[in-house]
């Protein structure tokens, strides 16, 4: 079993705000992240796929395919967007790093399975919000 990883980057606006709470409680819990006028980040994303190496190609999965899937399924839907307002799969959810990686997983896992005919599978998604904070999800 070999693990291959591909990085992607996107720039987006968001805020952390629970609509069921008062403005005061949001600011208490989320601090500056609750700013009603939004803030934003350069998000760094790493997608890790595992599988056996195909002796014909030396690949677990062609990086070109992995790159295309990440671009079409995630990057183009979140880059230069507002994660709370513009992204279908985040509607009604808190736009935290944790929720983002779980939603990304739900989209990428079946797609990677399909494109590789089940020979490779999604292993981990890592999402870095700043140089200091990140979340990782292994699908369970």
Interface with its own copies by CB under 8 A: which residues? Answer: 1-9, 11-14, 16, 18, 20, 29-33, 35, 37-42, 48, 53, 56-60, 62-64, 79-82, 85-86, 93-99, 101-102, 130-138, 140
Strand 2-14 and strand 81-82: the pairing is: parallel
Note if 124 is an active site residue.
no
Rounded to a whole number of angstroms, the minimum distance from the CB of residue 71 to its own copies is 12
Rounded to a whole number of angstroms, the minimum distance from the CB of residue 107 to its own copies is 16
Which among 3, 4, 1, 90 is positioned nearest to 43, based on CA atoms? Answer: 90
Helix (H) or strand (E) holding 104: helix 97-115
Q: 33, 41, 113, 124: which one is catalytic? A: 33
Q: How far apart are CA 6 and CA 14, in angstroms?
A: 24
Note if 9 is an active site residue.
no
Q: How far apart are CA 101 and CA 98, in angstroms?
A: 6
Q: 11, 28, 39, 80: which one is catalytic? A: 80
Please give the positions annotated as active site. Answer: 33, 80, 129
């Amino acid at each position: 079993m070999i693990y291959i990883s591909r990085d992607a980057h996107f720039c987006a606006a968001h805020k952390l705000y629970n609509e069921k709470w008062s403005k005061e409680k949001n600011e208490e819990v989320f601090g500056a992240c609750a700013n009603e006028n939004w803030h934003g980040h350069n998000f760094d994303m790493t997608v890790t796929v595992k599988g056996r190496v195909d002796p014909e190609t030396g690949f677990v999965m062609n990086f070109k395919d992995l790159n295309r899937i990440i671009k079409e399924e995630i990057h183009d839907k979140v880059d230069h967007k507002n994660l709370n307002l513009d992204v279908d799969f985040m509607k009604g959810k808190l736009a935290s790093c944790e929720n983002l990686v779980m939603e990304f997983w739900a989209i990428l896992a079946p797609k990677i399975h399909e494109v590789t005919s089940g020979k490779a599978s999604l292993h981990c998604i890592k999402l870095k919000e700043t140089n200091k904070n990140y979340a990782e999800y292994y699908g369970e």
